[in-house]
Amino acid sequence: MVETQILHVSDTHLGYRQYRSDVRRSDFRDNFRKAIERAIDEDVDAVVHTGDLFHDSNPSIGDLDDCGELFARLGDAEITTYGIVGNHERKRDTGLLDLVGRMGDVEHLGREPKLVGDVALYGIDAVPSRSWDTTPLELAEPPAEANVTILCLHQSFTPPLESGDHHDLSEVLDSVGIELDGVALGHIHKPASAEVDGTEVWYAGSTARTQKSQNSPRTVQLVETCDGHIERTQIGLDTRQFESITVEFGSDDGIGHLRSRLRQQSLDDAVVALKLTGERGAMTANEADTAAREAGAAVVSVDDKRGRVDLDTGDIDVQDVEDHGAVVTDQIEDEEFGPVVERVDDRIRTDGSVPTGTTGAAEELRPDLEVAMEAAFDESDGATEDDGATGDDEATTEVDE
């Protein structure tokens, strides 16, 4: 008999204008809305969010309003949301999760338990790598009514990740001071799971793709307790088609070659990450963008690597660059820097109020630069399945909407 149902959601990255597109910003909001609708359809007892609710620690008023409206829908359905803070939205002062909590039925998890049905929920916000070894992990004892204990974290752990520079989850289990039945994780954008010393641990995955390399379906997890045990069902979300296409060019190939390649698959209303390789010809990156949109793509990112060889700076013919601003934008998107870098770049190149002098510009941009410096010591902002996550979660049943 099912005693408690919780929908585990993570890494929604609200407000992310991926590829500087308002279409993508809307996609991140709509994907979270689909997760919320699933929670309401399942009539769950609670929603748990394990971090990176927002993509940026300084979301716009519109993004905050969208978030408050979505949580209000859960509140109208008498579903409480519990959450922790991820590395993207971490702030030094009032946390965004606490601010959103003032707009709806949202509670910030901590080391004291929150009881949902027969489940005692705990949470520890994302911890910078430099502070991990000195961060206390002890949790308060669960209430007598709790049959299941679950800790929520937003970090990279081995297991369930198999390789890379990750924290040891076994050490967490040894340090919390109570018996845990489950550890619900955020930060890695692909579902992965393992059993560690008798404790079930899992990543929910993300609700939207934040990088080109994320090819698997976006997911949430339905967590159910039965007789003191945890059972999970992996639920796939119906999200916008995302296509990564590489087109190799010979010396005589041009726009016709690209269009022929694009016609080989349906791109209607899709996000297309287009990578151009091989010999450089007369076709420009802007023309490639236009061709993909004419083929039906809603959002296009062009990574033009044609003719790339290792050259000294003095050998580069700047006349080959048609639009220097577009080249800088494409390179920043290709590197997939964090939101602070994108915001500073935007202000320097488009905000006429930023002083032109070095000292004045530094003072004007100081708040953003301080956040960027702090983030430089943290774990990577762009957690992906390439960070060591396993394949689709084999411990659960995948359900497509």
Active-site residue identified among 8, 49, 55, 88: 88
Residue 148 has a pLDDT of 97
Residue 91 has a pLDDT of 60
Q: Which residues pair with 107 in a beta bridge?
A: 82
- Do 191 and 75 fall within a single domain? yes
| 113 touches 146 (CB < 8 A) | yes
With tokens 């960070």, the residue in question is 387
Q: pLDDT class for 340, splitting at 50, 70, 90? A: low
Nearest CA-CA partner of 339 in 68, 89, 86: 89
Q: pLDDT class for 399, splitting at 50, 70, 90? A: very low
372 pLDDT more than 90: no
Nearest CA-CA partner of 185 in 111, 133, 229, 123: 123
Residue 100 has a pLDDT of 59
For 339-363, what is the mean pLDDT?
60
| 35 touches 43 (CB < 8 A) | no
For 220-231, what is the mean pLDDT?
95
60 pLDDT more than 60: yes
DSSP-assigned states of every residue in 149-203: EEEEEES-EETTS-SSS-EEHHHHHHHSSS--SEEEEESSSS-EEEEETTEEEEE
Of 161-165, 188-192, 259-263, 280-284, where does mean pLDDT reach its minimum? 161-165
Q: pLDDT class for 353, splitting at 50, 70, 90? A: low
Q: What is the pLDDT of residues 279-338, one digit of tens each?
A: 998 899 999 999 999 999 999 999 999 987 654 545 444 333 334 454 455 455 545 555
Of 35-39, 132-136, 238-242, 329-333, where does mean pLDDT reach its minimum? 329-333
Residue 164 has a pLDDT of 75
pTM for this model (two decimals): 0.78
For 117-132, what is the mean pLDDT?
93
- Do 128 and 247 fall within a single domain? no
**Percentage of residues in the chain having pLDDT higher than 70:** 73
Residue 286 has a pLDDT of 95
- Do 259 and 111 fall within a single domain? no
Cβ count near 213 (within 10 Å): 15
Sign, CA torsion 348/352/354/359: positive
Residue 276 has a pLDDT of 96
Residue 328 has a pLDDT of 57
268 pLDDT more than 60: yes
- Do 261 and 273 fall within a single domain? yes
383 pLDDT more than 60: no
The two structure tokens encoding residue 170:
């076994």
Q: pLDDT class for 213, splitting at 50, 70, 90? A: confident
- Do 394 and 247 fall within a single domain? no
Higher pLDDT, 356 or 204: 204
- Do 250 and 175 fall within a single domain? no
Domain carrying residue 42 = 2-239+383-400
| 340 touches 375 (CB < 8 A) | yes
DSSP SS3 for 226:
strand
Who's near 15: CB < 8 A, 6+ residues apart? Answer: 25, 28, 54, 55, 56, 59, 60, 63
Q: Count up the domains in the chain and report the number.
A: 2
- Do 215 and 352 fall within a single domain? no
Mean pLDDT of the chain: 83
As a dihedral over the C-alpha atoms of residue 254, residue 257, residue 260, residue 265, rounded to 10 degrees, the angle is -100
Residue 110 has a pLDDT of 93
Sign, CA torsion 282/21/186/128: positive
Q: How far apart are CA 300 and CA 330, in angstroms?
A: 11
Residue 246 has a pLDDT of 96
229 is catalytic: no
- Do 69 and 214 fall within a single domain? yes
CATH of the domain at 221: 3.60.21.10
Q: Helix-strand-coil percent breakdown of the chain, rounded to 5?
A: 30, 25, 45
Q: pLDDT class for 162, splitting at 50, 70, 90? A: confident
Convert 176-202 to b/e letters by CB count within 10 Å (16 or more is b). beeebbbbbbbbbbbbbbbebeebbbb
- Do 247 and 135 fall within a single domain? no
Residue 99 has a pLDDT of 58
- Do 79 and 145 fall within a single domain? yes
Residue 319 has a pLDDT of 37
- Do 210 and 306 fall within a single domain? no
- Do 172 and 271 fall within a single domain? no
Nearest CA-CA partner of 161 in 187, 135, 182: 187
